[in-house]
Structure 1
């Protein structure tokens, strides 16, 4: 609650100082230093300013209360809904823009309308002896002052909300165990802030001086055409320069931000070589250098993680193969054959990587198979073979235990389905044709080829030509015809090239 009280006091202090400076300072400067009036007329106009000031506060205060009401609730009420706290968080970020609109709306009109009405009435009853056209100049001056006041309040409010934003984020973590975030939404663009801020900073003194000069020198009657032509030319050039300077300043800030944003988008897509170019010699040079150093660290960590993951998969496969000296290296060879088939099928690089890992782990379920069954040298009984047939589903179940939950999601289909047959007579799910997952169909070919060409205690491995003929005969029944065909065709091409070379 103390945080909220400090926040509101700061907002009101900023507003009070800004309003007094704008209305009594700049407004008083225009009225009391440029017009030649009697003391009584000055008192009448001072009264108009005071009445207008109270009118402005009376109109603006309810709007201000409405704008900060959701924020007050975060500190005075027991928020039970995360969505409600998220709305408060968004309101905090929108408050600078709402403040700007409030000052250009009820603030300006609450001041200007009663001031115009009262001044025209005083002129009408001859309490103030000035031309009524001066009221139009004052109205334009008030608009200029309100614009500058709105800009100053915008930035002061931006500073004031920052500790409150941190406090609301802390409340969210403690109460809901969730992070509040804008999720990259741009509520107020750098372009708008810099362009209009810089333009007003450049244009304000020019316009203020121009208005004061017109009032002081009495050129408002328009009788001197050449003067107004000259003054108009100077004003257009000055405002044009202010706008062009603001545009240049905005671009100078916007370009490096956009450059860094584009590099970040590339990194988000997985390109860790997307270094930012050192095109800037101001403070953005530090940001670019920091971004590139951070990216280099991420890249080094990513490479280390990749090596650790590769080692993890290879170690699991080697540990499994070590149970049976006759199948040593089986998982590594199956992974190699599977990648060959995937490459021939023109799978993408990330698919090939996932295929290789799936193949390395395809027999992981055999960890749960008893040695008496797995290492038996003779023919398996029906019961023992049924135990062997459980290993694909068991392998999937084992990998599902790895955290985070989605870490192994890519590899599960290949592990579970590598013993399915294309004709639907495989196991564990009797899937048929392209119902069988992609990795399962590829690994089935690679696994069968290595199994047929490897020695077993109860039989000698087949020669590769014989194994290839069996694969060819089993296309469309046991194995996917496309992937088995690619493997067979590649084998014959390599055999032909070796024969030609030997000849």
Structure 2
């Protein structure tokens, strides 16, 4: 069985795929090989909690030769697929749904497929919320639009659940979070190739994406009012400075308020060519709290 050693900061190169998987002291998988860690404080937290990796030094194998090994923290076979693996599968599934919906929407039952992903997100948040919050931040494999939708969906479940929203209404909100930027899909190639700020024309097209997204979803068979209204209002702001309808205060439905927080927090964590700053989670929360009562719902 492999010999394990405690992780040290020097084992990890920021921004580079991990050459090993990382486990906790009980052998539970924390991060799978190939995932990139981008922030030093993530490394510090892993080191502080005593995370383990396989010791590949030649002397480690020799030291254990010829004598019984103590029980290794590396599990021989995990009873269930790790959360990081399952959310990676959700990302692939969402990519497939998006591509099919754009090309041949009649071939899929879109409300059912998105609803299934939403319920899986609820299940995984109950099982391992830390991994669910971390996985999208550490995903550098999938397109921004996919990761952004998934991160927003996870955050929507967290905020709505703690707000006391019932399970079924949360499913509708999560479905909204998973599809909130579909009206922007036709612009995504143009947005991804930008090397500077949005032009006025492109900005106007971006601001129309909630309305366009609802049209696409209705054409694909979505009739859930909470799902659609959450998307329509996710860029509205309490002070009326949002879009597309400049709604104020109580005019904004709860789903729109929740999606707004999830969308803003998620967007602050991923680099974009037209965004000057990328913030870590704590600074993103600070930015949001500074807007509480004016733009964001307390």
Residues 326, 457 of structure 1: 8 Å contact kept: no
Which residue pairs with 2:195 in the alignment?
Answer: 377
Corresponding pairs, count = 170
Q: Corresponding residue for 2:213? A: 395
Residues 470 and 428 (structure 1), Cα distance of their counterparts in 2 relative to 1, 3 Å cut: same
2:177–2:259: 8 Å Cα contact kept in structure 1? yes
Partner of 1:466 in structure 2?
A: 283
In the TM superposition, what are the counterparts of 1:62-81 in structure 2 within 5 Å?
none
**CA shift digits 1:26-73 (9 cap, x unpaired):** xxxxxxxxxxxxxxxxxxxxxxxxxxxxxxxxxxxxxxxxxxxxxxxx
Check if 1:340 corresponds to 2:146. no
Q: 1:370 to 1:450 in 2, by over 3 A?
A: closer
For the residue of structure 1 that corresponds to 2:226, the secondary structure is coil
Q: Tell me, yes or no, if structure 1 residue 436 matches structure 2 residue 249.
A: no
The CA deviation at 1:430 is: 0.3
Aligned pairs for 1:64-103 within 5 A: none
1:430 and 1:354, CA in 2 relative to 1: closer, same or farther beyond 3 A?
same
Of 418, 433, 445, the match for 2:261: 445
* Residue 376 (structure 1) shift: 1.6
Q: Does 1:475 align with 2:274?
A: no
CA distance in 2, matches of 1:438, 1:465: 24
Cα separation, partners in 2 of 1:327 and 1:370, compared to 1, 3 Å: closer
The alpha carbon displacement at 1:480 in A equals 1.1
Using the alignment, how far apart are the partners of 2:255 and 2:118 within structure 1?
20
Q: Is the 8 A contact 2:229 2:256 kept in 1?
A: yes
Residue 227 of structure 2 is aligned with which of 411, 414, 417? 411
Q: Is 1:368 aligned to 2:186, yes or no?
A: yes
Cα distance, 1:399–1:450 mapped onto 2, change above 3 Å: same
Quote the residue 1:454 is aligned against.
270
CA contact (8 A) 2:169 2:226 kept: no
Deviation at 1:313, TM superposition (A): 10
Cα deviation, 1:7-30, whole Å, max 9, x if unaligned, reads xxxxxxxxxxxxxxxxxxxxxxxx
Query: In the TM superposition, what whole-angstrom CA distance separates every residue of 1:107-126 from its partner, at most 9, and x where no partner exists?
Result: xxxxxxxxxxxxxxxxxxxx
Please give the TM-score of this superposition, normalised by the length of structure 2: 0.51
Residues 449/353 of structure 1: CA separation in 2 closer, same or farther (3 Å cut):
same
Counterpart for residue 27 of structure 1? none
Q: Distance in 1 between matches of 2:164 and 2:118?
A: 27
Quote the Cα distance in structure 2 between the aligned partners of 1:365 and 1:383. 16
Distance 1:399 1:326, change over 3 A: closer
**Aligned with 1:350 (options 157, 165, 168):** 168
Change (3 A) 1:373 1:480: same
- Between the aligned partners of 1:411 and 1:476, the Cα distance in structure 2 is 24
TM-score, normalization: structure 1?
Answer: 0.31
Once residues 171 and 198 of structure 2 are traced to their aligned partners in structure 1, the CA distance between those partners, rounded to angstroms, is 35
> What does the per-residue CA deviation read over 1:274-310, in whole Å, with 9 as the maximum and x for residues that have no partner?
xxxxxxxxxxxxxxxxxxxxxxxxxxxxxxx967842
Asked if the contact 1:444–1:479 (Cα under 8 Å) also holds between the matched residues in 2, the reply is yes
Residues 327 and 407 (structure 1), Cα distance of their counterparts in 2 relative to 1, 3 Å cut: closer
Alignment pair present for 1:310 and 2:116: yes
User: 8 Å contact 2:208–2:244 — kept in the other structure?
Assistant: yes
Q: Specify every segment of 5 or more residues in structure 2 that has no aligned partner in the other structure, as ranges.
A: 1-110, 121-135
Cα distance in 2 between the residues matched to 1:350 and 1:401:
23
Unaligned runs of 5+ in 1: 1-304, 482-503
Cα distance, 1:426–1:374 mapped onto 2, change above 3 Å: farther
CA contact (8 A) 2:211 2:232 kept: yes
